[in-house]
Structure 1
Amino acid sequence: MHNFGFSEEGQSGSIGDFRLWQRVLVYCRDQVAALAGAVALSLVLTVASLALPRLMQLGIDGYIVNSTVEETARIAGLGQIALWYGLLVTVVFLATFCQVVVLEWIGQVIMHRLRQHLFVHLLTLDLGYFHSQPAGRLVTRLTNDIQNMHEMFTSVMVTLFNDGLKLAGIFWFLFLMNWRLAMVMAVFIPLAVVVTVIFSRFAREKSRSIRSQLAKLNSFLAESLAGVAVIQSFGGQSRISVTHGGLTQEYQERNFGLIKIFGTFMPLTELMSSTAVALIIWYGGGEVIRRQLTIGELAAFISYMRLFFQPLRELSQKYSIVQSAMASAERIFQTLDTPSAIRETIPSGEAAPATPDDQGRIEFHGVHFAYQPDQPILIDINLSVSPGETVALVGTTGAGKSTLISLLVRFYDPVDGIVLVDGLDVRRQPLGELRRRVGIIMQDIFILPDTVRANIILDQPDDPARLKQIIADTGLNSFVDRLPDGLETRIGEGALNLSLGEKQLLSFVRALYRNPAILVLDEATASIDTESENMLEAAIAVGFQGRTSLVIAHRLSTIRRVDRIVVMDHGRIVEQGSHEELMGRDSLYRALVRLDGQGKGP
């Protein structure tokens, strides 16, 4: 069962959740060598960085203030110190560069795998899931949440090791030079930890509210852009703009809240750093006067304390990044753990039943269905369609016609009852095979940004001879000949845009290319021009031959050639018969025909 009450706010994703860490680290399994290289670079980077203040101390004590050494030797010694200093700076630069490249490469590989895994899983979920989840929220999963994970891999995982190593190294050097002054500096550790924890807690809450608002904004944008034609037609730009402005204003204010937290924490950290330096100058200066500390050691102490607060600042920020990434990971894995409600229900240990012959027999027995428990859509549907028979489903909007087709191809499963295709329960047939055997031509056509040929073939083997024969048999040569490059014409976003009628023609060829035993037309000619409708009608006449066909149409003039008409009303089958039979009595169908303006009959 889907979690229809899912909320962005409810996903915390604790850093201490080892279950989450285990799942995250699964995606790093084949990157162990690269991660080890990044860790090795961390060691080099830390050692080189911490050696710089030590070099400064040696330069000051050994040559600058040491009057016992000759001037020439002092200058030469400072030159050597400067050379080593420059060499270490170069090492730091190269190690940082290599580490950034390695981490970015690791992050990109891992995120590509995770994004692909998530997208492929989404494609397997049932339609009920997508009806319960705003499109913007799913886009946020594939973009912002993945990006949060990427940032953790590239700037946190190894960098946290860097910072921890650097802090340990700083204290080791401090205690090595003067343990008394190091103990004085240790007073700042609890204070720094408390400030960091408080900051991280506030930052986490603000970050979570920002992500929640971003998901709402993405959902609104997706819905608005999808309905831009309706918005423009009804002059709704101003109202939509106001709503969008409110959402973005709230998003901006939440971001400002996070900025204020950072704006408080950073100066506070700098204040602690400056206080520590002042304390070092006061206490360390006294040690220098008492000859318990050299001037070089005092300068090194000051440099190390400046370095000490840098990792603390970064650790607090990275804590927030990790917290955000863990929240994103929890949402991503929740999506990955969401099972499809539509699965092949073959009991464990039982062999899959043999695929039935493509006869095209359809049976509905006692079928009940509801999208919501208290709102039945189909009620006690009993219907049989013989192989080769053409049946029209008619009725007012909401009668349940399209839902019946959705059950046939298992977009949904009935609440009660059974649907059979060629005598076998559709729930016990492989989904791919079932949907190959039932070809559907819908009113809304999906166009892949690719060639016309690729849009027709999709996942089927390329058979040019078969494709050519289908186009010839259905009389759609003129449609293909009008295209600039024939079947190799690129269509979709950024290429040639097809009209609605041309898309319907393409979808018809796409369905026939799979050689289905059952052909379903769901409002296929509802909104196309007369020329395209005539071409499609001619193609349909050929396509119906030798196939079981179901036709759903509001325009009753499009069902002239059917063998039987099934009339639905409020989820029930209320009438069946030929056109003449239904028109010969006081039937709902006759009333629908009159409303359709076809009083002389379709």
Structure 2
Amino acid sequence: MHYGYGYFEEAHLGRVRDLRLWKRLLGILRPYWKPILGAVLLSLLISATGLTLPYLVRLGVDGSITQEALSFTERLRGLRHVALLFTGLMAVGFVANFFQVVLLEWAGQRVMHALRQRLFHHVIHLDVAFFNKHPVGKLVTRLTNDIQNMHEAMTSVVVTVFNDLIQLFGILAILFWMDWRLTGLLCTVIPMVLAATWWFSRLARESFRDLRTRLARINAFLQEVLGGLFVIQIFQREKDTAARFRDLNEAHLEAAFRQIRIFGFFMPFIEVMHSSAVALMIWFGGREIVQGHMSLGTLIAFLSYVRLCFQPLRELSQKYSIVQSALASAERIFELLDTPRAAPDGAAIVMPSQVRGALTFEGVSFAYDSGHPVLQNISFHIEPGETVAVVGATGAGKTTLINVLERFYDPSEGRILLDGLDIRDMNVHALRRQIGLVMQDVFLVPGTLRENICLDQSLEASVLERIVQHARLASFVAGLPQGLDTQVGPGGMDLSAGQKQLLAFARVLARNPRILILDEATSNVDSSTEREVEKALEEVLAGRTAIVIAHRLSTVRRASRIFVLDGGRLVETGTHEDLVRKDGHYARLLRLSLACVPMDENHASQASHEPETAK
């Protein structure tokens, strides 16, 4: 087990000044411009109501409370009017804020839903080579965390930042209008606050990125350890693994404390600056009141506006890091969306109405990495309905041969013909509908047995019953409490290796392809189960062109011809008897196979009759 700790998502943060990125983001938001515009207009209304409230306090103090010339009744009437207007504006702000949140969340959820659908649809159409180079955890992060980061930025930052900026400039304008001298004093404090905000945003950005990176390392390490826990326990690496986790956890703890220290300094500092500004206002404003140059209501309103002025400054500094993280997520998402899809359809989309199943490889060569060929000048022809076997040592190129036939990859040289037509000129989906693949490891879809057989097809009950019979699953299904509606896979009952293989054959019969590929389909089953699999194979192979990749003698002997690969080259072709008499690569592989599995082929019946004590 390696300890690379996976892929680090926060290697860089987004550039706020990247106009190209903002242009693409605006392109995603464009279909939902109406609710976003509505949220922006509501933010103007929210800002207007918030900025009006302190001024109403000034009117109440100066117009009623301190007006001793007015009668008690007149002063109460004036306060009542101010209080009603104050309550009405608060109600308007509440309603506007409610609808702004609803509009933003509706638009944000719709945008992220559409983007997640688009991204998932794009990912499942990428070629296999892409997934060989990109870890699954990275792609899962694209579809979950990165999408959520963009949603958070749009719903809680974009309009909120717009609202904070309007509020900040509005407050400064009102303060200058009310008393330019007090505002001038305030402006001596604001530069220090802005400098502290800029400094904090830089430190918080690095701290935030470091904390996310440490957490990503812990998650990757946990996934790696829990996925290979049996290896750790077998080789008794619990102590070493716990020590490595302790190092990762302590690094994450230190990063968390660093972020706490940064926030712990910045927040009190802003409060100190706010208190200093209030002290200046009280000192200077109080002197002005005593001298009769300022009213008490003006000072109270001024202090309220000062409090409101520091709030957007504090929020803008915190949201800067969120915007950068969201831009980094957007950049990664767009990078994935820009990845070209695999196996593009040719200019001439050709697919015969009746596929016979004749396959021809003409000088096919392929390399996963340049300079390291896996297939080299492979040429052969398979007649419709013929069953051939492909054998060879590990790494000879057997599975790669199937991958280029399925168009998971395209040959670097040569071509593959189906009924005389180059498969690169065919529609990929139509081509793959004609090819059935039964692999060594059968993937179970979480769902019922019926859903695992039919997949995306709807079959009549009589047709499905016939498929179950031909796949030798009838007795197994009959013993299930809910029959074909029994839940299998994750969350349901588990199937044995043989039952999974029979299920894979049922899938092939349900799809009814003209070409069948068996990639080590019987390697995971015992000899008794293999008999049932062999009977099912007779039904599955009937009338189909078949390519069998296998080591077991019984499976290989069924083939009319055997292709022997060695080092990516086709070195021998012939029947089983001819190749044994030739005493070449195939005979050597056969001797090695028989030497490695004596019990499986030769002594199974003898072992079954041994007494219990002997066993």
After TM superposition, the structure 1 stretch with the greater mean CA deviation from structure 2, 543-552 or 49-58, is: 49-58
Equivalent in the alignment of 2:481: 484
* Aligned with residue 357 of structure 2, among 360, 371, 387: 360
Contact 1:389 1:548 in 2 (8 A): yes
Equivalent in the alignment of 1:302: 303
Contact 2:351 2:430 in 1 (8 A): no
TM superposition shift of 1:236:
4.4
TM superposition shift of 1:456:
2.1
Equivalent in the alignment of 1:550: 547
Q: Give CA-to-partner distance per residue, 1:246-298, whole Å, 9 cap, x none.
A: 44443443343333332232222222211211121122222222322111111
TM superposition shift of 1:231:
4.3
Contact 1:368 1:416 in 2 (8 A): yes
Equivalent in the alignment of 2:134: 133
User: How far, CA to CA, are the matches of 1:463 and 1:18 in structure 2?
Assistant: 56
Equivalent in the alignment of 2:208: 207
Contact 1:342 1:410 in 2 (8 A): yes
* Structure 1 residues 83 and 289: alpha-carbon distance in aligned structure 2, compared to 1, 3 A threshold: same
Equivalent in the alignment of 1:433: 430
Q: What's the secondary structure of 1:28's corresponding residue?
A: helix
Equivalent in the alignment of 1:108: 109
Q: What's the secondary structure of 2:457's corresponding residue?
A: coil
TM superposition shift of 1:310:
0.3
TM superposition shift of 1:77:
3.2
TM superposition shift of 1:17:
1.8
Between Structure 1 and Structure 2, how many residues are aligned? 594
Contact 1:135 1:222 in 2 (8 A): no
Equivalent in the alignment of 2:613: none
Residue identity in the other structure for 1:187? T
1:406 aligns with 2:403: yes
User: How far, CA to CA, are the matches of 1:236 and 1:92 in structure 2?
Assistant: 61
Contact 2:390 2:548 in 1 (8 A): yes
User: How far, CA to CA, are the matches of 1:300 and 1:235 in structure 2?
Assistant: 70
User: How far, CA to CA, are the matches of 1:258 and 1:418 in structure 2?
Assistant: 58
1:466 aligns with 2:463: yes
Identical aligned residues as a percent: 49
Q: What's the secondary structure of 1:418's corresponding residue?
A: strand
Equivalent in the alignment of 2:325: 324
User: How far, CA to CA, are the matches of 1:421 and 1:204 in structure 2?
Assistant: 57
1:290 aligns with 2:287: no
Residue identity in the other structure for 2:25? V
Q: What's the secondary structure of 1:321's corresponding residue?
A: helix
After TM superposition, the structure 1 stretch with the greater mean CA deviation from structure 2, 139-148 or 467-476, is: 467-476
Contact 1:106 1:153 in 2 (8 A): no
User: How far, CA to CA, are the matches of 1:240 and 1:413 in structure 2?
Assistant: 42
After TM superposition, the structure 1 stretch with the greater mean CA deviation from structure 2, 130-139 or 466-475, is: 466-475
User: How far, CA to CA, are the matches of 1:338 and 1:443 in structure 2?
Assistant: 30
Residue identity in the other structure for 2:60? G
1:370 aligns with 2:367: yes
Contact 2:21 2:331 in 1 (8 A): yes
1:62 aligns with 2:59: no
* Structure 1 residues 525 and 247: alpha-carbon distance in aligned structure 2, compared to 1, 3 A threshold: farther
TM superposition shift of 1:222:
4.0
1:190 aligns with 2:191: yes
User: How far, CA to CA, are the matches of 1:509 and 1:231 in structure 2?
Assistant: 37
* Structure 1 residues 236 and 360: alpha-carbon distance in aligned structure 2, compared to 1, 3 A threshold: farther
TM superposition shift of 1:163:
0.8
Q: Give CA-to-partner distance per residue, 1:127-180, whole Å, 9 cap, x none.
A: 111111111111111111111111111101111121112112212221221122
1:514 aligns with 2:515: no
* Structure 1 residues 6 and 498: alpha-carbon distance in aligned structure 2, compared to 1, 3 A threshold: closer
Q: What's the secondary structure of 1:187's corresponding residue?
A: helix
User: How far, CA to CA, are the matches of 2:189 and 2:420 in structure 1?
Assistant: 78
Contact 2:471 2:503 in 1 (8 A): no
Name the TM-score, length of structure 1 as normaliser.
0.92
TM superposition shift of 1:385:
1.8
* Structure 1 residues 355 and 240: alpha-carbon distance in aligned structure 2, compared to 1, 3 A threshold: farther
TM superposition shift of 1:6:
9.5
User: How far, CA to CA, are the matches of 2:265 and 2:538 in structure 1?
Assistant: 74
Task: Give 5+ residue unaligned stretches, structure 2.
Answer: 1-5, 603-615
Contact 2:417 2:423 in 1 (8 A): yes
* Structure 1 residues 427 and 261: alpha-carbon distance in aligned structure 2, compared to 1, 3 A threshold: farther
Residue identity in the other structure for 2:325? S
Contact 1:11 1:330 in 2 (8 A): no
Q: Give CA-to-partner distance per residue, 1:360-415, whole Å, 9 cap, x none.
A: 12222222222222332222222222211111111221111111111110111222
Matches within 5 A, 1:410-429: 410-429=407-426
* Aligned with residue 566 of structure 2, among 566, 569, 572: 569
TM superposition shift of 1:217:
4.1
TM superposition shift of 1:531:
4.7
* Aligned with residue 531 of structure 2, among 507, 529, 534: 534
* Structure 1 residues 243 and 398: alpha-carbon distance in aligned structure 2, compared to 1, 3 A threshold: farther
Task: Give 5+ residue unaligned stretches, structure 1.
Answer: none
Q: What's the secondary structure of 2:311's corresponding residue?
A: helix
* Structure 1 residues 235 and 124: alpha-carbon distance in aligned structure 2, compared to 1, 3 A threshold: farther
* Structure 1 residues 241 and 523: alpha-carbon distance in aligned structure 2, compared to 1, 3 A threshold: farther
* Structure 1 residues 336 and 252: alpha-carbon distance in aligned structure 2, compared to 1, 3 A threshold: farther
